[in-house]
Amino acid sequence: MDNDEVLGHLLKIESEAAELVDNARIEADRRVSDAEKHARASYDDRCRAEREGLEKEFQQSKERARQQYQEEMAAYRQAISSIQVDTDRFSALLSKLVMGET
């Protein structure tokens, strides 16, 4: 083999090596991109599940608060309705305070 043949062979090997490196870089980029897509989808799924859980918990809490409010209002209305108003005494107090009468 003469020098030109050796040099041509070396250049061919270098070209093949460069092509292998380029192919490896392309494959690595593809794998990284796929991994990023998978990670994003997984993150979105976890966020969606957490958001749905929090929303459900909020709605349940809101319903419990609404029920408690209704129960407290019913008890308050019951307590108010059972109070006997002494109108004579109230009128006397009102006259005393407003009119200064004794």
- Other beta carbons within 10 angstroms of residue 92's beta carbon come to 13
The total domain count for the chain is 1
Q: Cα(first)–Cα(last) distance of the chain, in Å? A: 136
Q: What is the pTM of this model?
A: 0.55
Q: What is the mean pLDDT for each group of 10 consecutive residues in the chain (102 residues)?
A: 85 94 97 97 97 98 98 94 86 84 60
Q: What is the helix (H) or strand (E) element at residue 101, kind and residue range? A: none
- Could you list the residue range(s) of the whole structural domain that residue 54 is in? 3-99
Contacts of 1 (CB under 8 A, 6+ apart): 9
Which of 11, 15, 9 has the alpha carbon at shortest distance from 1? 9
pLDDT for 101 equals 64
Amino acid identity, residue 98? V
Taking only Cα atoms into account, the Rg of the chain, rounded to an integer number of angstroms, comes to: 43
Nearest-angstrom CA–CA distance, 33 and 43: 15
Amino acid identity, residue 63? E
Contact 97, 91 (CB under 8 A): no
